[in-house]
Structure formats: C-alpha cells, structure tokens
Structure 1
Amino acid sequence: MSGDHDEIRGTARGSAPVPLSVLDLVTVGAGRTASDAIRTSVGIARTAERRGFHRYWVAEHHSMPGVASSSPAVLLAHLAAHTDSIRLGSGGVMLPNHAPLVIAEQFGTLEAMAPGRVDLGLGRAPGTDGATAAALRRSERHEGADEFPQQLVELIRFLDDEFPDGHPYRRIHAVPGPVQATSPGGVQSTHRPPVWLLGSSGFSARLAGSLGLPFAFAHHFSAANTIPALDLYRESFRPSEVLDEPYALIGVSALAAEDEEQARRQVLTGALSMIRLRTGRPGLVPTPEEAAAHRFTEMERDFVDGWLANIVHGTPDAVRDGLNDLAKRTGADELMITANAHGGDVRLRSYELIADAYGLPGAAAGAAAEEGPGA
C-alpha cells in the first residue's frame, strides 16, 4: 500500500478552520436534462477550483431520475478535461457493484489523465435498491459485509501491482498501472490514486482505522452517527504507509443565499425529493414553487423538520458559523459541502457565497453563472 500524505491532507484557505471541498450529486431538476446537470457540474467544479476549495467528488447512484452520477469515472474524465488543479474523486464508487480490476483500470486511466489529482473513495452500499443492485451485479446474491474487506484488499493489490507469488492474480495487471514501469523502457508514475473509505455507520470507520486509510463520513444523511463513527475511526486507527495519524472528512449539506427565507425555500426542494425517494417514488428534483405548494402530511412534515435540521442553510454568515460549529463539534479534518437544490444557478451561487464568507481566494461572486444553464 502506498500513498502521499500531501494528496490526502488539504490546506485551509482564508478564514476556514479546515479545508472545504465539494460533493456534487449532479442533480437533475424538473424541466432540465442530464446534459444541463453535467454542464452545471462543470461550472461548479471550475468555481470550486477558482475559489480555493480543496477537492471535488461525485457519488455513484443508480435508478434515480434526479441524480445523473451513475458513472463516476466517466464524469471525472470529463471534469478533468475542464479543470487544472483541483483534486477530483469519487465519493464514492460502490465497490460491491464492480470487479476490483475494472475499478483499478478506470482510476489508473483517470490518474494518467490528471496526474496527482485523483482520489478513489469507496463505499460498500449499493447506492440503489436491491433489485437494481442485482441487475448491476448480474446476481441475486447480495454481497455480505464481510466480503467488502476482501474486495478492498484485492483492489489495492491491483492498484499497487503487488499480488504475492502463488496468488491466482499474480500475472494479472491493472493498466495503466505500475507494471508499465517494469516493461522495457518503462517509467514509473509518481502517483497512484489514494484510497478512501466512505461510510454512514461504524463498519467502514473501523476498517479505515485498522488499515490506516483516510475516512469520509456521510454526515449529510446520517448525522446521528457522525461522532460515534469518527470516535471509532480514531480509536481503531493504526499508522500506515498512507497516513501517520487519522484524517477524517465529513460530508455536510449546506446552502447559502442572500436571506434565510430564500435559503429555506431552496432546500425544501431537496427535502421533498428525499421524501419521494424514500417512499418509492424517485423523480426529478422539484421546483421551489412545487415544493412550496406541496401539502405535506403530518408524517412528511416531521420528516422535513428533521431533514432540514441537519442542513446548514441561511445567509452566508449563518452558514459559515454553522460549518465552523460542526467542524469544532466533530473534530473533522475537512468539510465536504453538498448543495442540494433544484437550480444549478442556486447551487453555484451558494458556493460563491460560502467562499466569500470565508474569504477564500478568487473572483467576486456571480462569475460562475456563465458556465452553463442550471440543473
């Protein structure tokens, strides 16, 4: 296992207490297309790069009309062609859906496209429902949690080209990869994508700690488990070639607007979208007008109140204070912000306002709006 500490650890910019990054679900709003959503993602990635955010990740989801990120590697290749310096990665690839060799080849290719800029974040959930997972895996059998560590070790060995003698895969090589350096005239790449483990419970936290890997926790949809999982990660941590000490990132939903009422109006679209997803009716992200007109049942209202309580939203100063408080309470080493709303222009504006509130570098707010239509 090999890695570069500098490729994992970020540097805080401006007045941010920890590095700030972006998680983009490539959301598709009602009245918009997947092409619109991807153009918006390019705009967000460019904005994040220009304003001093540390990384930009996309997450694997399937069979969800409102989320156009089913193929992280394809999206990352497109984003690599439109950015120059920001770290790009998966937040994450759902490893049980794929053969480890395929992932090693895909991310080896991405590393060749954007040397020193690629992160490989891995999750063990399917990123979808059981029937879709079966279609992805061509099997009705669900991978057990105990199989994920074996898949992870296999993937890392493909990335490092380090299967032991006698292993059935000893003569199989992930290309692009280290084997090219051993060929006549070959030159070893100076980088390979750092592996991160993602989680929303204690399983991946303990595994990441025991292997000495960086850990990313999904606070944005599992807030009650954040501190217990981070404590377990730190308690389980063993120094490795990758890290000398724990490094924990948390994903957090946050949206800034010019005033509190506007911010709540926008985040309500994501709450209604989540209600529909969790009740078996996934669809495009509704407009603010549709969300405002929706007649919530008492049960739905309770869900909305709980959901919005875990989204940092409001004026830029309020969002900055909320993020600072979250970083302090959790001891997170990095915050990865996801802005879930109908309009791409709203999400772009939110990242600009947050950057302004923290004094991050870059041009004045609003310049990124020219990147393309919202999604």
Structure 2
Amino acid sequence: MGDQRQGSGSAGNGIHGTVRGTASVPLSVLDLATVGSGLTATDALRASVEIARTAETRGYHRMWVAEHHSMPGVASSSPAVILAHLAAHTRTLRLGSGGVMLPNHAPLVIAEQFGTLEALAPGRIDLGLGRAPGTDGATAAALRRSDSLNEGADEFPRQLAELTRFLDDDFPDAHPYSRIHAIPGPVQGTSPGGVQSPARPSIWLLGSSGFSARLAGALGLPFSFAHHFSAANTMPALALYRESFRPSEILDRPYASIGVSALAADEPEEARRQVMTGALGMLRLRTGHPGLVPTPEEAAAYPFSPVEREFIDSWLANVIHGDPETVRGRLDALVARTGADELVITANAHTPAARLHSYDLIADAYDFPKAVEDITVAG
C-alpha cells in the first residue's frame, strides 16, 4: 500500500465510532431504499435522505446503502449515486456502501467512484465490499458480461488488491497499471502544484460466511457480518475473523460490526404488524417472486401455507421488534453475545414513516441527543 491510510482505527477515520448516550457500542444504519406497494422509487430515495438526516441529528455513527439488482422492492442498485445525493444533504454523518459487490465491477471504476465521493465529502466515506452478486445468477451474468459466477467470487482477493492499489496509487513500476491513476486520487497530490488529500475511503469487507471474515482478518481490515440474513453463521464468522486477524497499518486490533434487522414501534403489536411486511417480501423473494414491499393489510390477509409459515417464523426469529425498551434489550443482548464493536441497524417496513419512527424510538431508548437544529444543505 501507499501513503493513503485509514489510520490505526481512530475515530477520525470512522472505524471506531463514538458511543452515544447509554449505548455500549456505536449504532449505525443500513438502508436498502425499499419501495413499498403504492409507492415509487422516488418516494424510497426521498425517504433515504430523511433517514440520513435523522441518523445525523440523532447521533447514529454511519449510514450505509447496499447494492442489489433486479429486485422491484429495492431501489439501491447504484450505491455511489445514492451516496453522492446523501452527502449533499448531510454534513457530519459517515456514509458508505454496505456493500458494493466488487465482482460486478472493474476495480478502477470503483476507485474512481469512491474517490469522487471522498472528494465530495472528505473524511466521511466508507467503501464496504462484498463478493456476492447481490442478485440472481442471470442478472449477475448480465452485469458482468460473463456466464461464470464462480470466477468473480474466486477472483475477489485479486480484485481487492487491485482496487486497493488504485486507491493508494502505488502499483510497482513494472506493473502494467503503474501509469494508470484513479482520479480523484493520490496522484493529484504528487503532481506539480498538487495538494495531498488527507484521506481516502475506508475499506471494509462484508460477508455472510467465513470467506470474507478470514480475508478481512488476514489483511487487518474491519469486518461487517450480515447477521440479519445469516444469523446461524454469525458466531463462527466472528470467531474466524478474530482468530485470523493480523495487525496492520489500518487496524491494530479486530473491529467487527454486525448488520441486524430491528424495528421499534410504540406498541409491540404495531411492530409485529410492520415487520410482517418485510417477512412476506422476503418469502416472495426466496420463492422466486420478488416484488414491492407489501402493505401491512396485505401481509395480515396473506394465506400462509404451513411451509410458508415455518419460513416466516424462522425469519422473524432473527428480526428484533417490539416497543423501544424491548428492542433495546435485545440489541444489548446481541452485543453481549457476539462481542460486536458496532451494530448496523436496518428497519424493514412498508412505509418510510414506520422506518423513520423506529430509528427515532431506538435513539430515544438509548438517550441519544434530540434533534435540535434544522440542517440546511444542498437541495
């Protein structure tokens, strides 16, 4: 690597977050820009802005958006575009990808996109990377112009190394890419009259199994595990990450966040009513019928078969929901059980209002600061 470092895990680089209120670890937000039945992608993306503003004013540490494709109920197919928009509507909140699916893209393209984001929002950008396609096989082939999905996954360590060298601008002189520069990037600081940028995007590895956990540990990178859809693998993956960890110039000790699905409402019954919409949406996705997020009324009226009910019950077992104190208690228990250094909360519900209210209620439960100012930024 070159001179552009994330540091040794300092809060200024966004790896170790500031603990707010009575929380034991920093709380962050993962947003999928979900599109509910009767709503549009424009509604969903406007809601993402409101969620970012709420996260910033209420003391959440960061907000990530995830790359998904060919899913009608998820409008986050272009994380870099969404993040640029969110950067224009926030001032201090860290923003990033949770994650960009690296095998879908040329590393140089990602280095350019996130270098641009870093230039737009200096010191606030995270580059979370995954190796899954973020979609089905046919869509992945259309994205990659290749019929081989295994090739993309198997090539992930090489692609990651290439991306890192583009971000650091430190290919060896003999490398065929030594005269290729990701711009915006470090080369601008070494050009005549150039001023060195103080930072570059912080790289995270994301995963739902052991592969990325082991790789993140070996490279000394922060790691985020997708507990919200792979809860059975959480403890083994975190143990593998910690066992594999080697101190680096980026981190001197392991730092692991976990993604968790959590929704708070004023009453437990309302929370259950709201999370059923996401559960039905996931059932449809898993059975090959992805669509918009259904309404609570549609979810309540759906005639679940015994097999479908079993899936719903299994799915909801890993969705934290209830009144604010119940949600806080279960989040605290999850931290105690896993030793996670940070929680990245995703709230799945039909309406933006339910998701926004949940983030406010969770912040209240942890005595996060109240929103006392109106943020005026680019409109």
Q: TM-score range by the shorter chain?
A: over 0.9
Which whole-Å deviations, capped at 9, do the CAs of 1:161-207 have from their partners, x for residues lacking one?
A: 01012101000000000000111100000010010000000000000
Q: Which amino acid aligns with 1:306?
A: S
Residue 359 in structure 1 maps to residue 367 in structure 2: yes
Q: Quote how far apart the aligned CAs of 1:325 are.
A: 0.1
Instruction: Name the CA distance, whole Å, in 2 between partners of 1:47 and 1:105.
Output: 29
Residue 331 in structure 1 maps to residue 331 in structure 2: no
Which whole-Å deviations, capped at 9, do the CAs of 1:321-345 have from their partners, x for residues lacking one?
A: 0000000000000000000010100
Residue 35 in structure 1 maps to residue 28 in structure 2: no
Instruction: Name the CA distance, whole Å, in 1 between partners of 2:63 and 2:245.
Output: 25
Using structure 2 for the length normalisation, give the TM-score.
Answer: 0.95
Q: 1:322 aligns with which of 314, 330, 334?
A: 330
- Match of 2:225? 217
Instruction: Name the CA distance, whole Å, in 2 between partners of 1:362 and 1:92.
Output: 29
Residue 345 in structure 1 maps to residue 353 in structure 2: yes
- Match of 1:371? none
- Match of 2:110? 103
Q: 2:206 aligns with which of 192, 198, 202?
A: 198
Aligned length: 366
Instruction: Name the CA distance, whole Å, in 2 between partners of 1:345 and 1:180.
Output: 43
Instruction: Name the CA distance, whole Å, in 1 between partners of 2:215 and 2:207.
Output: 10
Q: Quote how far apart the aligned CAs of 1:138 are.
A: 1.1
Instruction: Name the CA distance, whole Å, in 2 between partners of 1:37 and 1:85.
Output: 22
Q: Quote how far apart the aligned CAs of 1:144 are.
A: 4.7
Instruction: Name the CA distance, whole Å, in 1 between partners of 2:309 and 2:196.
Output: 56
Give % identity. 76
Residue 94 in structure 1 maps to residue 101 in structure 2: yes
Q: Quote how far apart the aligned CAs of 1:223 are.
A: 0.2
Which whole-Å deviations, capped at 9, do the CAs of 1:61-117 have from their partners, x for residues lacking one?
A: 000000000000000000000000000000000000000000000000000000000
Q: 1:313 aligns with which of 303, 318, 321?
A: 321
- Counterparts of 1:61-210 in structure 2, within 5 Å, are 61-142=68-149, 143-210=151-218
Q: Which amino acid aligns with 1:68?
A: A
Provide the secondary structure at the position in 2 that maps to 1:153: helix
Q: Quote how far apart the aligned CAs of 1:363 are.
A: 2.8
Provide the secondary structure at the position in 2 that maps to 1:213: coil
Q: Which amino acid aligns with 1:82?
A: H
Provide the secondary structure at the position in 2 that maps to 1:264: helix
- Match of 2:241? 233
Which whole-Å deviations, capped at 9, do the CAs of 1:8-62 have from their partners, x for residues lacking one?
A: 1101100001000000000000000000000000000000000000000000000
- Match of 2:6? 3
Q: Which amino acid aligns with 1:102?
A: V
Using structure 1 for the length normalisation, give the TM-score.
Answer: 0.96
Instruction: Name the CA distance, whole Å, in 2 between partners of 1:18 and 1:191.
Output: 25
- Counterparts of 1:245-264 in structure 2, within 5 Å, are 245-264=253-272
- Match of 2:53? 46
- Match of 1:303? 311
Pair 1:35–1:230, CA change in 2 (3 A): same
Provide the secondary structure at the position in 1 that maps to 2:205: strand
Which whole-Å deviations, capped at 9, do the CAs of 1:120-144 have from their partners, x for residues lacking one?
A: 0000000000000000011112225
- Match of 1:373? none
Provide the secondary structure at the position in 2 that maps to 1:285: coil
Q: Quote how far apart the aligned CAs of 1:239 are.
A: 0.3
Provide the secondary structure at the position in 2 that maps to 1:164: coil
Instruction: Name the CA distance, whole Å, in 2 between partners of 1:228 and 1:106.
Output: 33
Any gaps of 5 or more consecutive residues in structure 1? 369-375
